[in-house]
Structure 1
Amino acid sequence: MNNASLATADRVTHLKVVVLALIASIAIMVIGITAHAVDDARAYGVAATPVKAGKVMVSTTDTRTLVR
C-alpha cells in the first residue's frame, strides 16, 4: 500500500483527506461567522452623536491666484 501521493493512495486515504478538508472548512466558516466586528457605540448602549460639517476650506501649495 503506497499512500505517499494522492495519485497512488487507496480509498481510505482519499476519504481521510476529504473529511479533514471538510472539517477544516467548517471550522474556518464558524470562526469567520462568530468573529465579526462589534461597534462599541451599539455594544455599550450609547447613541452615536452626529458630527456636523464645518465651513468649506481650500488649501493649496500653488502660488498662483485662483479666479472663479
Structure 2
Amino acid sequence: MNHSIYSADRTTHLKIVVVALVAGIAVAGFGISARLNAETGYTQTAKVMKAGKPIAVTSSEASLVR
C-alpha cells in the first residue's frame, strides 16, 4: 500500500477523484431533499406596505413646513 499522494499510481488518483465526486453528489442530494421536504410553517411571506404622507428628514432640530 502506498501512503504518499505524490508517488501514488494513476488508479489511486482515479479512486480519490471518484470517491470525492460521489461524496459531493451525496451531500448535494441530501441538501436538495432536505430543502424540498421543509415544513410550510417556516416559509416567509411578503407584507405589502403602502406609502404614507411624505416627510423631510433634516439634521437640524427645526421642523419643515410645506
Report the TM-score, using the length of structure 1 for normalisation. Answer: 0.53
Instruction: Kindly state the Cα deviation for residue 32 of structure 1 after the two structures are TM-superposed.
Output: 1.5
- Matching of residue 56 in structure 1 with residue 52 in structure 2: yes
Q: Determine the structure 2 residue equivalent to 1:66.
A: 64
Which amino acid in structure 2 is aligned with residue 14 of structure 1? H
Structure 1 runs of 4+ off > 2 angstroms?
A: 51-58
User: 1:10 — aligned with what?
Assistant: 9
> Following TM superposition, by how much is the alpha carbon of 1:41 offset from its aligned partner in structure 2, in angstroms?
7.8
Q: Which runs of 5+ in 1 are unaligned?
A: 43-47
CA 1:31–1:65: 2 relative to 1, 3 Å: same
Identity over the aligned pairs, expressed in percent?
Answer: 39
Counting matched residue pairs gives 60
Which structure is higher in helix share? Answer: 2
- How far, CA to CA, are the matches of 1:66 and 1:15 in structure 2? 73
SS of corresponding position for 1:56? coil
RMSD: 3.6
